[in-house]
């Protein structure tokens, strides 16, 4: 299972400013968030990336990518018809092949030798099926994520056979349909915005789009739920942490995570301690 292409969605109407925001990466280089996300995909082994954008954003996103722009093509989502519709805009680019998918407002920081993307791609190649990264999440946060139900794959510590997917379930729905044996009580496996998907998902999204009213949104989770019914589909608890920059203080938190796991972490930590000491002294 060769994964040479990636799709990055960056067409959220309310988040168009986020991909061009800059952060200092783990190597101490100042880069846009979009460049960090695309760079993670390329470092994970893909050869070309399609970024799905709102009309009119291509030029400034290309500028934000810098030298990576020559590895990227753009696809436009003409109308805000949902997350699934955004991915479907890259159907021709994918061309019937499995692909890596990332969202443009999340930063992943690995706690292992391999990056989160590399871990996921390796699992997909080993098992020759779709694999989505998941994070154990407390039930109070279920309204913000798609969640999966299933069972642990035999002989593994981090893989789960997906049987059911619900977008933003209620705690009652989750308790009835999404319990995964072995997880802590009150916790469920939620998507983290990082996937390797077979091309079948594009066919399923097209089927879904064909029956969705023009004024309604085409979402990804129903297509993934159907994917789990038709073929083997795994969830993986990657060794790493996810930082959503579209939340309050999200950019700050992501920056701290990158800084404290990067080459300048000692300097950054020292400066944080000094700043905290100065603030506390000022209040004394």
Which pLDDT score, from 0 to 100, does residue 50 have?
Answer: 98
Task: Evaluate if residue 283 carries a pLDDT over 90.
Answer: no
Prediction pTM value: 0.94
CATH class name, domain 5-283: alpha beta
Residues 42-94: tens digit of each pLDDT: 999 999 999 999 999 999 999 999 999 999 999 999 999 999 999 999 999 99
d(CA 14, CA 80): 10
Residues 137-171: tens digit of each pLDDT: 999 999 989 999 999 999 898 999 999 999 999 99
């Amino acid at each position: 299972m060769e994964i040479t292409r990636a799709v990055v969605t960056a067409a959220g109407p309310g988040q168009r400013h986020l991909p061009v925001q800059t952060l200092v990466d783990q190597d101490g280089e100042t880069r846009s968030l979009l460049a960090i996300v695309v760079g993670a995909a390329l470092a994970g082994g893909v050869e070309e990336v399609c970024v799905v954008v709102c009309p009119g954003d291509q030029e400034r996103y290309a500028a934000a990518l810098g030298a990576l722009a020559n590895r990227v093509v753009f696809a436009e989502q003409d109308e805000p018809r949902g997350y699934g519709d955004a991915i479907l805009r890259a159907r021709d680019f994918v061309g019937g092949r499995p692909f890596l998918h990332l969202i443009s407002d999340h930063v992943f920081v690995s706690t292992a030798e391999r990056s989160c993307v590399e871990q996921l791609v390796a699992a997909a190649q080993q098992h020759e099926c779709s694999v989505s990264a998941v994070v154990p999440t407390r039930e109070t946060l279920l309204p913000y994520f798609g969640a999966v139900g299933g069972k642990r794959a035999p002989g593994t510590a981090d893989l789960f056979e997906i049987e059911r997917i619900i977008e933003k379930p209620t705690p009652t729905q989750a308790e009835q349909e999404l319990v995964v044996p072995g997880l802590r009580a009150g916790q469920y496996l939620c998507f983290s915005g990082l996937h390797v998907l077979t091309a079948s998902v594009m066919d399923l999204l097209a089927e879904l789009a064909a029956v969705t009213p023009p004024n309604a949104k085409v979402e990804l989770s129903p297509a993934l739920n159907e994917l789990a019914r038709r073929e083997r589909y795994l969830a993986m608890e990657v060794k790493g942490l996810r930082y959503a920059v579209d939340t309050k203080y999200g950019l700050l938190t992501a920056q701290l995570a990158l800084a404290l796991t990067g080459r300048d972490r000692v300097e950054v930590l020292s400066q944080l301690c000094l700043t905290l000491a100065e603030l506390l002294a000022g209040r004394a």
